[in-house]
Structure 1
């Protein structure tokens, strides 16, 4: 990754819909050269996906969020639980924790009923011994992750 790649990532972080031609103008490369660099950044994992970020006040529908802390029966052989969680689209984050809890799962869904259904599914999974769930009441800080040069090292 060089300085031009960093500039391309910075520009795409500000506006992922910027055209290759516009990016080329900003980094002093041709549209085709920018496209090739973006393709390479995707292949190497520097760009791993594209997403939609919604305004909190938008009328596109409110999401309900919840954190589910999961106790597994066997921490070392709990891969089935992780595989099942990967198949639930409303699971937006799943982290393995140290300490008392084994997993922290963040859910975002269209309704409380859907969250409840997912919670029931998680609680009934083979290998799950207990869960503790908390609902998000309001979002106070919502920072997108900013890539810094040290974060982008392979």
Structure 2
């Protein structure tokens, strides 16, 4: 049976796992005020219901030689075939780490992570601009990161 509503204990579990996905079940249970068996059962229910989509390590891009983060606004010809073609092409570009459908003057906002501006130029000119239906591409580059979080703001519930 999958979860359709969340209670305070579920939200405490989600909050703790957002902060540290490597918690053992015993440590998680202790943090959220449950015994280990019910805690594990709840985690499995949250996974099965899709509240928890996976677990990942957060990597330091600079230590990996990825010094440039760009946000790229893309305008495409508006038709179903062009849209599907664009989405399929973007999925195949590993440097595009996020792709959002947008309102406003542009159709998509991409987050691109690359080693340097030469690599960005290659992604932009040789791959993005070569996708059929792409009309315009505008880029902005990150100079400094003030806040970057993978945690979602969860609703507050009384304990």
TM-score, normalised on structure 1?
Answer: 0.80
Structure 1, unmatched stretches of 5+, are none
Q: Displaced runs of 4+ in structure 1, greater than 6 A?
A: none
> Residue 30 of structure 2 corresponds to which residue in structure 1?
25
What do the CA deviations read for 1:13-50 (whole angstroms, capped 9, x no partner)? Answer: 22221111111223343434323322221222211232
Compute the RMSD of aligned alpha carbons.
Answer: 2.4
SS in 1 for 2:113: strand
What do the CA deviations read for 1:101-144 (whole angstroms, capped 9, x no partner)? Answer: 11111111233333222212011101111211122222233244
Higher RCO (C-alpha under 8 Å, 6+ residues apart): 2
Q: Equivalent of 1:148, from 138, 147, 154?
A: 154
Write out aligned runs for 1:50-65 (5 A): 50-54=55-59, 59-65=63-69
Q: 1:92 to 1:145 in 2, by over 3 A?
A: same
SS in 1 for 2:10: helix
TM-score, normalised on structure 2?
Answer: 0.78
Structure 2, unmatched stretches of 5+, are 1-5
Q: 1:89 to 1:2 in 2, by over 3 A?
A: same
Is the 1:75–1:102 Cα contact (8 Å) retained in structure 2? Answer: no
What do the CA deviations read for 1:60-108 (whole angstroms, capped 9, x no partner)? Answer: 5443101111110125541210121122222222122222211111111
Q: 1:80 to 1:135 in 2, by over 3 A?
A: same
